[in-house]
Structure formats: C-alpha cells, structure tokens
Amino acid sequence: MSKIRCIVVEDEPLAVKVLADYISQVPFLELQGTFKDAILATDFLRDHPTDLIFLDIHLPKLKGMAFLKTLSHPPAVIITTAYHQYAVEGFEMNVTDYLLKPFEFERFLVAVNKVKTAQKEKSEPAESSATKDYLFLTVHKKKVKILFSEILYIESQREYIRIVTIKGEYLSKISTHEIESLLPPHLFRRIHRSFIVSLARINAYTAEEVDVNGILLPIGRGYRESMEDL
C-alpha cells in the first residue's frame, strides 16, 4: 500500500511541531506540507492531491469548518482542536476523527489507522465492493452481514451511521466517509452530507428531494449536479 499523503492546516507553531513529529513516527504517513491558514492550504490543494488533512478549527482568515465546506471532493479529514463543542458539526461533515488538544501519540495513531483501514479497503480490487454483494458492519459489538440489495439509504448521525434496509435498521459507529468508500459507486449515490441512497430504491426525485421507497430525503445543494445523470 502506498503512503498516505497528508497536510497540516494549523496556525499554532507548537501544535504544528507536535503533529509533524507524530507524522514522522508513522511509516505509512507522508507529510506534504504545513499551512498556517486555510487560504494557503487551498492554493496548495489546487495542484497537489492529498489523502488526509489535519485541520484546526480556529484559523485566521477562514475558519476550519468553513474551509471544509469549500472542498467539493474533500479527502479524509482529522480535526485537531481544543474546543469539544464542534465535535457534532465535525462528524456531520463526515470527518474521520476528532482529536482534542492536547492529545497523546496513541490517540493520534488510532485516528490515522482509521484512515489507513478505509484506504486499504478502497484499494483492494479483489475484495472490493465492486465484486461483493454485501458488507459486514459492527452493530452492538458483533459483525452483521448487510446485503447491498437490501439497503434503502444510509443516514449520518453524529459519529454513527443509520443503515435503513428492507428488513430493519442498524446503527454502526463508522463515519459516512468510511461507509461510502465501502459501497459500490454504481449502486449508491451521496445526495447530501448526511444521506447516501440506493439507486435501485429511488422511486422519483426532484431538484430538492428523493423518494426512496416512499421516504422523502433532501438533496444537498452541492449534490444536485450528481443527480442529473440518473
């Protein structure tokens, strides 16, 4: 597996130093650069693809969450902040993890391993979602097999997701970003920051909402173009 390319967007020199040191200790991470504000990071991302952003929330010029909303196809994101009250918004934005400063190396390693796992599963064609018709998710401390053909839609609920199927509902502690990487793109479509739907289960749709088996789900503004090819 190739290295995970990452950048740090952080205006506190000490925090940058700690993150750079942690990154250097992880063999599968490659630090591309550090940026003191989101504007500089945006300029870099125009010409340099990256796999992971370590993002502070309280940044000069453009706040972290506002910056995240400007990215049309964001990579994996790990929030690093001293403010716990932004955790809910962070998970609604599908960040991979949320690190509260000051955090130890062990907690940092847990976060980046989540990214590594998602990347590995996404890059294994032999066992990819394109060749399987199911996935296993942890539900109440046990692995549950869920068939793609039975899924109606998936909803983000803070750090959990709710999988609604024709047989029932399941709650699993995984981000929407991670579950999306496990789903075959020809069968599922993200229509909102909080919703992924089964294309086969769409009965009708407008510019604002989708009817999935009689359930109306909103289409986010940034996702309306992706619905035009249906």
Q: Give the pLDDT score at 33.
A: 95
Q: Are residues 34 and 109 in the same domain?
A: yes
Q: Which domain range does residue 15 map to? A: 4-122
Q: Which helix (H) or strand (E) holds 41?
A: helix 38-47
Q: Give the pLDDT score at 22.
A: 96
Q: Are residues 147 and 178 in the same domain?
A: yes
Give pLDDT tens digits along the chain (230 positions): 578 999 999 999 999 999 999 999 999 999 999 999 999 999 998 888 899 999 998 888 888 888 888 887 788 999 998 876 654 555 556 788 888 888 999 999 999 998 988 877 666 544 444 567 898 998 988 899 999 999 999 999 877 899 999 999 999 988 888 888 888 888 999 899 899 999 999 999 998 999 999 999 999 887 877 777 66
Q: Give the pLDDT score at 86.
A: 56
Q: Are residues 91 and 29 in the same domain?
A: yes
Torsion over CA: 111, 112, 114, 118 (sign): positive
Which one of 90, 122, 154 terminates a domain?
122
Q: Are residues 213 and 165 in the same domain?
A: yes
Q: Are residues 112 and 151 in the same domain?
A: no
Q: Are residues 92 and 182 in the same domain?
A: no
In this structure, the number of other CB atoms found within 10 A of the CB of residue 168 comes to: 8
CATH number at residue 148: 2.40.50.1020
In this structure, the number of other CB atoms found within 10 A of the CB of residue 146 comes to: 17
In this structure, the number of other CB atoms found within 10 A of the CB of residue 83 comes to: 12
Q: Are residues 202 and 219 in the same domain?
A: yes
Q: Give the pLDDT score at 35.
A: 95
Q: Give the pLDDT score at 27.
A: 93
Order of strands across the sheet that contains 4-9: 29-35, 4-9, 52-55, 76-81, 97-100
Q: Are residues 133 and 59 in the same domain?
A: no
Cα distances from 7 to residues 108, 123, 187, 213, 222, in angstroms, run 15, 21, 32, 42, 24
Which one of 101, 122, 143 terminates a domain?
122
